[in-house]
Amino acid sequence: MSLLEDAKKFAVDKMGPDRLSGYPHAERVLKNSRILRKLQGGDIELIELSAIMHDISFNGKNIATHATESANIADTFLEEHGVDFKRRQKVKKIIERHTVRDWTMNGAPETVEEKIVFDAEAIERISMHGFLMFITTSHNLPYSNTGQVVRALEKFVDENYKSIFFENTKHHVQKSYFLFKTVIEEIRDGANLKP
């Protein structure tokens, strides 16, 4: 079995089958990463391994720490599979930087591989899957009312869209982005919420 196949099996076992936050999410990010890699270049093995394991520790409650936790789990897995230290460190950085929220701890993406996995995740976040994942995990966040959830959702969508690195990614998600902005505005109007 190849390293990539072993990583997929490991991720399936760790993440489970949930369509939103389980391994199917990693598969969608992997697919997006492969498309972006064809356009942007980069080390395909680093990109694929990182995409597969980027959320390996995510449980809905560890939103603030899951990137670092996932990076550490991936590092241990790769070490056990004989991957050298330098490549393991690259995978760790890619995973640590796959979400805007983690940039304050881990820095913004710098390499093409880091930017590709970030953008691949942004495509997923600015989709129906991302929208539903935000809603289903918002009960684990410190919001006490609907207005806070709506403002946080808008911030989530805006942050992800504005942080995209590649113009072709931004173009790809533009329709979804404007759809979500419209939906958020309709929710705000329907619930009589202030912006």
Spatial distance between the Cα atoms of 119 and 168, rounded to a whole number of angstroms: 10
Is 71 inside any structural domain? yes
| pLDDT tens-digit map of 114-163 | 999 999 999 999 999 888 888 887 766 777 788 888 888 899 999 999 99
Is 195 inside any structural domain? no
Is 125 inside any structural domain? yes
pLDDT value, residue 1: 82
User: Which range marks the domain in which residue 32 is found?
Assistant: 3-190
Is 34 inside any structural domain? yes
Is 43 inside any structural domain? yes
DSSP-based three-state secondary structure for 110: coil
pLDDT value, residue 140: 67
DSSP letter string, 43-100? -HHHHHHHHHHTTTT--SS-TTTHHHHHHHHHHHHHHHTT--HHHHHHHHHHHHTSSG
DSSP letter string, 140-166? GSS--SHHHHHHHHHHHHHHHHHT---
CATH number at residue 26: 1.10.3210.50
Number of domains within the chain: 1
Q: How many helices (H) and strands (E) does the chain have?
A: 10, 0
Write out residues in the chain with pLDDT < 50, as ranges: none
